[in-house]
Amino acid sequence: MKSPEVLEIKEIIEETPTIKTFIFDWEMEGENIPYPGQFLMVWNFKDEKPMSISHMNFKNNEIGFTVKAIGPFTNNIHTLKEGDNLGIRGPFGNGFNCDFKDKHVLAVGGGVGMGPFIPFSEECINNGGEVDVISAATTKDELLFVEELEDLGVNVYTCTDDGTCGFKGFATDRVNDLLKTNHYDSAAVCGPEVMMKPIFDLLEENNIPAQYDIGRYMKCAIGICGQCCVDNTGWRVCKDGPVFSEKQLRQITEFGKYQREPSGIKQYY
């Protein structure tokens, strides 16, 4: 198992009032080369949590993750300054398929679930695809990566629960609206499962193949401990995911219903 490498925080970007991106120097070679949809294990010298890779700069040899302050671990991360240290392991997991030459792809991110979609969009565009991204949040100030994605040439569609950025509604509503006029060959979705499940149902109804980046409680990140197994499939989110196809999700009956706490107790949505 990879041991955490203690790295200095090179840059901190305050994305929203509750979300920050942390950037590190990273040697892009061998097993260290990341791919969209993979994750890092981040250690604050007390606890360790998985974080989606949101920043991949191959020219400057940088990697980064984007995190929302929602609990003791993430609040602690948010107190750190540039020059402070964190332990990093990775990259881990099965990422997105980004081979969409001459295809039209829809990516849907809810809140900090937007994390993987700058690397995803960049890779799709480099492979000759066209990308539309829905960035969804509770309010305008919490929307992520709109300008960065537009700079890549992505068509960005925002939506907020309170209507402070044009379209008022949930990500599902925005998807449904776009499907009235746009044709998509494939889709990618990341965010809370209570958001992803109705989008899954909607894309299934419209026969659009899709990939879903899901999260579970993880310890080892390499498929040994079994902490992140889903249902009775035997699939481990850290190793077989975190990105799963729509065909795989049809077999995961817990999707959109519950996750398990560290003790194994079901936590229903």
Residues 6+ apart with CB under 8 A from 157: 132, 133, 134, 135, 167, 174, 178
CB 119 within 8 A of CB 53: yes
pLDDT at 144: 97
* The residue to which tokens 């975190």 are assigned: 242
184 backbone φψ class: left, alpha, beta (φ>0; ψ -120 to 50): beta
Hey, what are 148's tokens?
């960065």
Q: Which residues pair with 7 in a beta bridge?
A: 86
- The answer, yes or no, to whether residue 76 has pLDDT greater than 90, is yes
Reported as a single tens digit per residue, the pLDDT across 183-220 is 999 999 999 999 999 999 999 999 999 999 999 989 99
- Domains of the chain from N-terminus onward: 5-92 (2.40.30.10), 104-268 (3.40.50.80)
pLDDT of residue 231: 86
- Of 150, 145, 136, the closest CA to residue 64 belongs to 145
CA 173 to CA 89: how far, in whole Å?
A: 37
Look up residue 31 and give its two tokens.
Answer: 């097993």
Whether the per-residue pLDDT at 97 is higher than 60: the answer is: yes
With residue 204 as reference, give the H or E element that holds it: helix 193-205
> Where does the pLDDT of residue 263 fall: very low under 50, low under 70, confident under 90, or very high at 90 and above?
confident
The pLDDT-based confidence of 1 (bands split at 50, 70, 90) is: low
pTM for the full model?
Answer: 0.95
Torsion of CA 61, 65, 66, 69, to 10 degrees: -140
For residue 82, the one-letter residue type is E
Q: 130-137 and 104-110 as β-strands: parallel, antiparallel, unpaired?
A: parallel
Q: What is the mean pLDDT of the chain?
A: 95
State mean pLDDT over 73-95: 97
Distance (Å) of CA 207 to CA 102, 183, 256: 19, 11, 20
What's the rounded mean pLDDT across residues 115-122? Answer: 98
